[in-house]
Structure 1
Amino acid sequence: MKKAIIYSFLVVLAACTTNKKIQKAQKEINKTVAAKPAPIPVAKPVVVAIKSRYLLKDSASVRIYMELDIENLKKDQVAQQLNDYFRFNWLLQPDYGVRERIGSGRIEITDQNILLKEDKILLDFEIPRPKNLAKGLLLTEVFQLEDSKKSNNDLVIDFNGNRLNDRFGVYVGGQSIPVFRNYINKNDSFQLKSVLSHPRDLFLIRYKNDFSAAQSPMATSIRPSIASLTIEETVKVQTNTFIKLSQEGLYQVVEDTNSTSNGFGFLLVDDRYPRLTRPENLVKPLIYMTTSQELRAINDNPNSKQALDKFFLAITSGNQMVSKKIIKNYYHRIEESNRLFTSYKEGWKTDKGMVYTVLGPPNKVQRSRDREVWVYSQNQNFSEIIFTFNRKPNQFMENYYELVRYPEYQAYWFPFVEAWRTGNVVD
């Protein structure tokens, strides 16, 4: 009996000792697990924006160029990541709303047809040129494999090549892809080239560039989009040769100086554009957030910097912190408007640039061949706002849009302007 009691005691003691060892070991494991940092999730590449344009190559094909803004790409593995995460497809149909398929295919991504430039992916590929089709709509789809998300881009193609920029593009520096913007910085040298680089003479016409800013969305009086133009200079140039211009302003590339309707235009701007940095240039965009009396006082002051300081301190009751916040956010919107909407005039002066500056990017954009609709979603401060822009081609570009104006916009517009003046807009 005594032996049994001693044996039981030893068993219990051994169990307690073993349990303590297990608990101690578990604590060590827990310490190790706690000390080991959790793995940082890897951000997947995601498409932010797409731009596209084309050049007719020959009677059989069209060269398509795309500029893609894709976040979280490793710069040394661009082609590999694009193939790992995305599929690129194209579809050609006669027009918006017409589902007839004229052609389709997959866009192959290789090191030979992509280029990384200023954090943008430049991609080019070719599609067959259909017979007996004057115009077509090219729909490009970027399909994200992981979550099946699609990013789409639409591009109307004139297969007859009626305009000069259907056949010739502006190539800055030694780039192999034409620019997607309508401005060239003053220090840039550029070439005018076709896909097959056929040499020929063209003409550059420089116009006096002093266009007005967009009228408010409530101004329903008709005003011509382009007033009479004054030609200041005409220069003959040759394609495939580098050109460098010294005079800022509006230029038009034409085949014949007696027929300018089918040419295309661009602005030659200072090297800091799309940013505005000179005080005399910073004054002008204030038209969208000032009264006529305030704007007159600013323009009457010969010292632009002083005029700016006085205005911003006046609307913020001398609060320098709020003034700096307004200045930073407002001129960032102006810069983005220049980047996105520059046409024959600075981007902030266009109808789209004005709406973008005051209200910011729309929540949704709906496009058709001749119309673009911007939708700003309803929130606690206002109901859904819709701006309609109609395409209005001119001698400088095919895709220029003008806003359809209504007096009813006043109910929405002035509260947004007041939000800017009180520093309540977050960019």
Structure 2
Amino acid sequence: MRNLASLLLLFLVLLAAGPLQAAPRRDFANQYQPRRTVEVDTRREGDSLRVYLRFPNRIAQRRRVPLRVMGWIDFDARRPLWQDTVRGAARRLRPDGDVDRLSFALPISRLVSGHALSVAFGDAEDAMGGDAAWLRLTPENLNRSFIFIDSLSRPLMRRYVRAREVFGVDAYAPGQTLNAYRYPLSSLAAAPPMATSNTLGQQPRTLGLQDSARFNADQLLRLPAGLYLLRLGNRGPSQGLLVEENRFPQLTSADELIAPLIYVSTSEERQKLFDAPDPKKAVDYFWLGVASDDQDKARQLIRQFYGRVVVANTIFSAHKAGWLTDRGMLYQILGAPETVYRSGNEERWVYRGYQSLNTIFVFRAKPSIFAPDNYELVRRPEHEFLWYAAVELWRKGLIAQPGR
């Protein structure tokens, strides 16, 4: 009876305290906000891994607190496997315009492929949150002994350059040969989120090599447009690089402005734009028609639509331009996700209250040698209503906004 009375008392106490609350899941939505994302890259240096960070908006300079590093078994783990602080991190900060740069080394013995790292200035909660710099540890970034740099020898922190843009490869061991293999660029846009396997059609399994060249790893390069695989030596580490024309990720030519309209227009409409005597002016008239001849609204629509294309290019470009990818497609039409969850090899994008609906889009990792961080959308018939509703908002001159 005494045990029963004790259990009853415990139950009443818990009931009075309210329902038990599970720990909130980690939200990675800010990883897809360019002005908030801390960019990260790595280079293998003997028995260490050098981690390069670029902080936006000079936020690192404003936070004179320890730089914390944590190792996790996965993105959704509740407790880190280990944690540490980087000594003298504030002294290593290098201001560069409106960003701060910093690098530090970790012993490779502490790092396991498949695990994750988080890095942040602040207390432990900052390094545990989704706003920290997060990195999935893969064989590629654990073993790659070079990084891309710009013409001033600063880490490039991206996997794309513009055609004939000057850049270089900074290898840990000097005097090596760099082999460059060029493949054709892809212009295949992502299929709608409700497309079936029959609609998707057969995707090419291999890419045809167009040409190759050999350079010294320490020389500055200018490459023509293409998708490249850059490899140190014949069997050394490699990394993919997208080389695009014009002012990528910006859009400047008529073709670049017309192509992303594939998600909100018919093929006949786009063909008329391509065939127009002045395609750029025809694009302006297209948006003016959408805005019912309201010039202010047309300008707003153009800024919003192509602004999202540029963001998608900035964040998701790897094996092809970011707006062509599955995540780039959703970002362009629906905007930034309100919440992003990561678990194992999945990402879940949550839009709450969008068109009076709560919708979750599931992406599954499909890495490749060109795009180790690539994710593909799990397409489902139930996405059809929301997709067409969002497209219709664009077609009526209303900017589709997420619930955030």
TM range (shorter): 0.7 to 0.9
Counterpart Cα distance in 2 of 1:399 and 1:134: 14
Contact 2:42 2:142 in 1 (8 A): no
Aligned to 1:156: 136
Query: Under a length normalisation based on structure 2, what TM-score does the superposition of the two structures give?
Result: 0.80
Aligned to 1:217: 193
Aligned to 2:115: 136
Which stretch of the first structure deviates more once superposed, 383-392 or 107-116?
107-116
Aligned partner of 2:304 among 329, 336, 339: 329
Deviation at 1:172, TM superposition (A): 1.1
Deviation at 1:89, TM superposition (A): 0.6
Matches within 5 A, 1:198-347: 198-221=174-197, 222-223=200-201, 226=204, 228-245=206-223, 247-255=224-232, 263-270=238-245, 272-301=247-276, 303-347=278-322
Q: Which has the higher contact order (CA 8 A, sep 6+)?
A: 2
**Residues 296-328 of structure 1, C-alpha deviation per residue, up to 9 Å, x if partnerless?**
433444642243134223333333332222112
Aligned partner of 2:347 among 350, 372, 389: 372
Distance change >3 Å, CA 132–CA 157, structure 1 → 2 = closer
The yes-or-no answer on 1:168 pairing with 2:146 is yes
Q: Give aligned-pair identity as a percent.
A: 27
Deviation at 1:226, TM superposition (A): 4.9
Contact 2:117 2:134 in 1 (8 A): yes
Aligned partner of 1:82 among 63, 69, 75: 63
Deviation at 1:271, TM superposition (A): 5.2
Which stretch of the first structure deviates more once superposed, 407-416 or 288-297?
288-297
Contact 2:288 2:294 in 1 (8 A): yes
Counterpart Cα distance in 1 of 2:108 and 2:397: 53
Aligned partner of 2:367 among 393, 399, 402: 393
Counterpart Cα distance in 2 of 1:131 and 1:145: 19
Contact 1:363 1:376 in 2 (8 A): yes
Deviation at 1:228, TM superposition (A): 4.5
- Structure 2: give runs of 5+ residues left out of the alignment: 1-34
Structure with bigger gyration radius = 1
Contact 2:393 2:400 in 1 (8 A): no
- One-letter code of the match for 2:162? N
The yes-or-no answer on 1:57 pairing with 2:42 is no
Counterpart Cα distance in 1 of 2:142 and 2:81: 25
Deviation at 1:224, TM superposition (A): 5.1
SS at match of 2:165: coil
- Structure 1: give runs of 5+ residues left out of the alignment: 1-46
**Residues 189-208 of structure 1, C-alpha deviation per residue, up to 9 Å, x if partnerless?**
222123x3432112111222
Aligned to 1:363: 338
Contact 1:250 1:267 in 2 (8 A): yes
Counterpart Cα distance in 1 of 2:84 and 2:90: 19
**Residues 220-256 of structure 1, C-alpha deviation per residue, up to 9 Å, x if partnerless?**
22445556433222000121222222x2222211246
Distance change >3 Å, CA 423–CA 368, structure 1 → 2 = same
